[in-house]
Structure 1
Amino acid sequence: MNFQRGKKHEDLEMNLVPLIDVLLVIIIFLVVSATFSRVSELQINLPTAEANPQQEKPLIITVDIDASGHYSVNSTALSDPNVASIGEALRRAVPDGKDPTIVINADGNSTHQSVVNVMEAARQENFTHITFATQIKSGS
């Protein structure tokens, strides 16, 4: 029974525009994700490190300063506590052509001036490597 007389039936068509839109979005997604997967696969050649053996031990000169201001260079006590005699003792403790490291062991109650005297004597003798000995507090 055809109740709609006079009306023509239109042929049904499938609309392909939304299907094409969805497929283009999927293709773009696949291309972008494929690009990122290539970036995450970097080939890295890590460098290798080799330590050179230490040629020789550095020359260390120890200068001790007690609380009363008495100096000793490499356990040899100095009779005159002025900058010139400290410099002379440092020069005698160094073999020719060596660049020593001077370690200052100063008592906690020694004066700042006594430490400055050792530093000035080292400067006058052109010794540039100076360090200070410290100790860790016990019970802390």
Structure 2
Amino acid sequence: MLPTGDVQGCLRKLETLLRIVKYPGPVDYNGLSVGDPSAFLPILSFSLTTFSPPFAEQLVAAGLELTGKTDLRFTDTLYKVLRDIFHYKPIISKQQFLQRGFVQRKISTLCDIIDLVLQRHKELKKPRLRNPVSHKDTRGADHAKLTKPDTVSREDNK
């Protein structure tokens, strides 16, 4: 979370994050600076559905579809994603998010969400070991002959 009272600093941090995720659309800085939800929603939608295809697939697999929804339904699902996937509780309520105002809290929450998506994207993009390296048994063929079922004594089984 960012320190209070520094809207311009929050906007600079947001601008940096938007460069990192290569946000392609126009950014309505006037709308962001007055807390207009219509300035925040396209950035959120891009971050959650377009930026990271592996993360978007994870959301769909979890039954959390974000595309083609009204602002209210999108926000409801967004808060479910934050709660269930990221275990994150925003500093702003859904109702506050959909109103004008609460500028700093909205920008701070947006930055947190982009950070969370970036972290999850990196986790999902980590290369996984496909075929673990097998180590040859260097002890020789005689090792396999040591324990045959008919040669094990009763005392060994206790």
TM-score, structure 2 normalization: 0.21
- Relative CO higher for 1 or 2, CA cutoff 8 Å, sep ≥ 6? 2
Structure with the bigger percentage of helix: 2
Larger radius of gyration: 1
Higher strand share: 1
Q: TM-score, normalised by structure 1?
A: 0.23
